[in-house]
Structure 1
Amino acid sequence: MTTTAHAPVDYLLHLADNALVLGQRNAEWCGHGPILEEDLALANNSLDLLGQARLLYQHAAALINDDADQARRFAHLKGARQDGRITEDTLAYFRDVAEFRNHTLLELPHSGPLAGTASGDRDYATTITRNFLYSTLMVLVWDRLQSSADAQLAAIAAKSIKETRYHLRHASDWLVRFGDGTTESHARAQAALDHLLPYAQEFWIGSEAEAQAAKGGTGIDAASLQADWSALLDDTLNEATLQRPAGQGYVPQGKLGVHSEHMGFLLAEMQSLARAHPAAVW
């Protein structure tokens, strides 16, 4: 008798939270893009990420509902169905900051390092650089997860890698335009890279969920991708004539539930309607 392998719930939530939070951030450009084409490009990017998050949350919710211990763990969340079952909406809209497992990089505002506060003007170079750093990682992650022992996660990966390759191509093309463009565009891209690259150190710190997933063949150890990620990064940065800063300093721990001050504001905006009407059926 064979047993179907499933990725740990927390591993699925990590992947889903990454997609949801970055999708929320990129959607903030809707109606504010620097040109119409980019307004639409980032809206499509956000829809892709939202679709990835939905598939992962649906998978996680099914595993939670089928496991009594997991069901008790998430029983405190509002927004569950009347029969108490967890849904994708429960996981997206009714968990608090410390329960999210996304990388800190993805929750940062679009304002650049020189803006001073999160309410500063949006900087498109910051958005593009973040998308580049994350998409470079996820092209590698989704590629490996296509071989996951969790058949459903493998199918999600096979769909998601196609979208993520487009996201990487879009971000890479713009980063090269900025870096190898005007004096101002180069300076903005370099400042964004200097600001954001240290946050990418979090990609390589381990978590219990990742260790469990790697051991069971359902997930991967992200640290094993660091050399390939670094090589892809350097290829684009060289073409963009940008200098890679040293990745030193504090290593963020968003994937462990320790977030920046920006995460609460992001969730408050994203979750406010669902929390105001937790029993609503849309």
Structure 2
Amino acid sequence: MSQAIINVSDLNVSFGANQVLHDINFNVAAGECYGLVGESGSGKSTILKTIMGLNKHTGKIEIEGTPLHNHKRDKAFYRKVQMVFQDPYGSIHPKHSIDRILSEPLHIQRFTDIETRVCKSLEDVGLNQSFRYRFPHQLSGGQRQRVAIARALITEPQILVMDEPTSALDVSVQSEILNLLDDLRQERNLTYILVSHNLAVIAHMCDKLAVMNRGVIIEEMTPNVLFAKSAEAPYSRELIKASYGYEIVENTA
């Protein structure tokens, strides 16, 4: 197993008097996809936002052994870690061309080969150069999410954190985006943290997963436990049972 690239220990987050994360502990190895699954309100997305510096916290978050100071992230962090949001309709600027959307992070990070990188980023997510000067309203939901993925990857980060990246898409498009993400991870040795309420998505993508409920990690397991329906915690067993309406398919790639 590769060395851990993400370490989260004793992580607590409160909004006013309401504590929403309780002593969260997990680590993610380099090149691994780590899943966070649970019902709405369980704290999955709060973990991602806290990693990205959007929530104040106590406890420790480390990237490659370097602690992240509470609520502060610099340009070097965003060069290394990027986020893909749930809603492809709201996560990219509606009045900016695709070229501008992809160029902006390159300007911020002071890249010089901007045109080359923009063209390659479109190619990497399966979009041809005709998309470069289109606007988001001219794209389908799946195409917008491909642009969002291209933007996240254009500065060559090592880590992607993804909040329900396919839930806003048609079912027919979801598998295309998941397969794209899987291929990109293999090609670039990327590390993912993936949030989903859909155990079928988690089972397909992840090497390990944590089941969450009310701000607590109830149980950590592998996809094999999902396939065998052999979770230890009662809550985990109920969550798996509730997912029987979804087809959980083992990823044999």
TM-score with structure 1 setting the length: 0.27
Where is the helix percentage greater, Structure 1 or Structure 2?
A: 1
